[in-house]
Amino acid sequence: MRQHRLALCKEHYLEWVPEQTERFIKKYEMFSRNEKILVAVSGGKDSLSLWDILVNLGYQADGLYLGLGIDGGIDYSHESQRLTEKFASERNLKLHVVDIEKEYGQSIPVLSMISHRGQGKPCAVCGLAKRHEMNRIARDLGYDVLATGHNLDDEAAVLFGNTLVWDSERLLRQGPVLPSAEGLARKVKPLCRFYEREMTAYAIASGIEYIYEECPFAEGSQSIYYKELLNQMETTRPGAKLTFYLRFLEARKSGELFIEKNVEAAHLHPCPKCGQPTSTDDLCSFCRMIEKAALVTG
Ligand code: AMP
Ligand code: FES
Ligand code: ZN
């Protein structure tokens, strides 16, 4: 790990990653051992490793898998669900599985065709549905906190995108912890300081079976483009990605960079249908999408 000037053997690496995770959980005050954690697991290396680490550290962590109905020629959703269920049953862990199509009548690709969000790519609709469902399920099942497997590469790419257009509202909301608000579960990203390749190494070294393929719709996406740019920088300046993210967190915390404004209080009110907070005047964007889909498909 050039960025840390550190080289570890397999045995010590498998100790180092959980120790660091525990350090980040404490540093950013993510959660305690008394709290119930819902880990959103996609079947990929990051979220399965996160679940593995949290359980081994003695946290009360259950899993949530969302069936998105994405095939893309590689049976992406079925395979990721199979691996997630296998991981849970081998370790005797509690996994909630929620299928979007069964729940709302349409799969993500179909919802995307109907709603015109994201010009033919379902990623925008998928992101909206995932956020909505993760929050709904965490809230309905009484979890204290929702954890996702976002790693440093994910976070740096989002930060880079938001910085390019100086999206101050998004910048103020980005961080390892998003506190709970009326109707919104606390969200945490315990892996946000690990490089993607560090998580790959952890998953492989600990024998976790995960889906290697990315979502088939991710190809050519903006976030992959930003990740490539950041990786080019990282090659010549080891640690550039980590510094970019950590210095942002410091600046945000000290209020150096932004005129403080209260984003949380941005006139949210409960959606009349699902009750989750929304800034739109009537139904939240997700419920509007579902209503529209129901109209179109009868
Ligand atoms: P992505 O948005 O695909 O980069 O995934 C980011 C994080 O969201 C993952 O690390 C998981 O924690 C969560 N996630 C993504 N897809 C799913 C899914 N189908 N079910 C549950 N959680 C998911
Ligand atoms: Fe949702 Fe790819 S479109 S994971
Ligand atoms: Zn709603």
In the reported structure, the alpha carbon of residue 283 is separated from the centroid of ligand 3 by a whole-number distance in angstroms of 5
| Candidate from 46-60, 146-160, 281-295 with smallest mean pLDDT | 281-295
Alpha carbons 265 and 281: distance in angstroms, whole number: 15
Collapsed DSSP state (helix, strand, coil) of residue 17: helix
> What is the domain partition of the chain in residue ranges?
2-297
Residue 257 has pLDDT above 80, yes or no: no
Q: What amino acid occupies position 274?
A: C
Backbone angles phi, psi at 47, to 5 degrees: -70, -35
In the reported structure, the alpha carbon of residue 128 is separated from the centroid of ligand 1 by a whole-number distance in angstroms of 12
pLDDT band at 263 (very low <50, low <70, confident <90, very high): low
In the reported structure, the alpha carbon of residue 144 is separated from the centroid of ligand 3 by a whole-number distance in angstroms of 21
Rg, the chain, Cα only:
19
The per-residue pLDDT for 274 is: 96
* CA quadruple 96, 75, 132, 263: dihedral, nearest 10: 120
Residue 264 has pLDDT above 80, yes or no: no
What is the CB neighbour count within 10 angstroms for residue 203?
Answer: 19
Strand intervals (E) in 148-253? 177-178, 186-188
| Candidate from 58-67, 115-124, 275-284 with smallest mean pLDDT | 115-124
Q: For residue 183, what are its two tokens?
A: 């109707």
The per-residue pLDDT for 55 is: 98
* Stretch 167-195: mean pLDDT: 94
The per-residue pLDDT for 78 is: 94
Residue 266 has pLDDT above 80, yes or no: no
Q: What is the reported pTM? A: 0.92
pLDDT band at 258 (very low <50, low <70, confident <90, very high): low
The per-residue pLDDT for 169 is: 87
Judge contact between 60 and 19, C-beta under 8 A: no
> pLDDT digit string (tens) for 41-62?
999 999 999 999 999 999 999 9
> Where would I find the H helices in 67-122?
76-91, 100-104, 108-115
Ligand 2 atom index nearest CA of 121: 3
For ligand 2, whether the C-beta of 68 sits within 6 Å is yes
For ligand 2, whether the C-beta of 226 sits within 6 Å is no
* Exposure of 156 in the CB half-sphere (CA atoms within 13 A): 27
Instruction: For a ligand 2 pocket test, name from 215, 219, 221, 224 the mutation site with the most ligand atoms within 8 angstroms of its C-beta.
Output: 215
> pLDDT digit string (tens) for 92-150?
999 999 999 999 999 998 899 888 765 668 899 999 999 999 999 999 999 999 999 99
* Stretch 249-258: mean pLDDT: 81
For ligand 2, whether the C-beta of 215 sits within 6 Å is yes
The per-residue pLDDT for 137 is: 97
Average pLDDT value for the chain: 93
Alpha carbons 243 and 249: distance in angstroms, whole number: 10
Q: In CATH, what class is 2-297?
A: alpha beta
pLDDT band at 296 (very low <50, low <70, confident <90, very high): confident
Looking at the chain, the whole-number percentage of residues with pLDDT higher than 90 is 78
Question: Which of 122, 137, 226, 134 minimizes the C-alpha distance to 178?
Answer: 134
The per-residue pLDDT for 53 is: 98
Q: 263 vs 184, which has greater pLDDT?
A: 184
The per-residue pLDDT for 118 is: 56
For ligand 1, whether the C-beta of 151 sits within 6 Å is no
Residue 71 has pLDDT above 60, yes or no: yes
Smallest-distance ligand from the CA of 80 = 1
In the reported structure, the alpha carbon of residue 183 is separated from the centroid of ligand 3 by a whole-number distance in angstroms of 11
Alpha carbons 90 and 281: distance in angstroms, whole number: 46
Q: For residue 67, what are its two tokens?
A: 């069936």
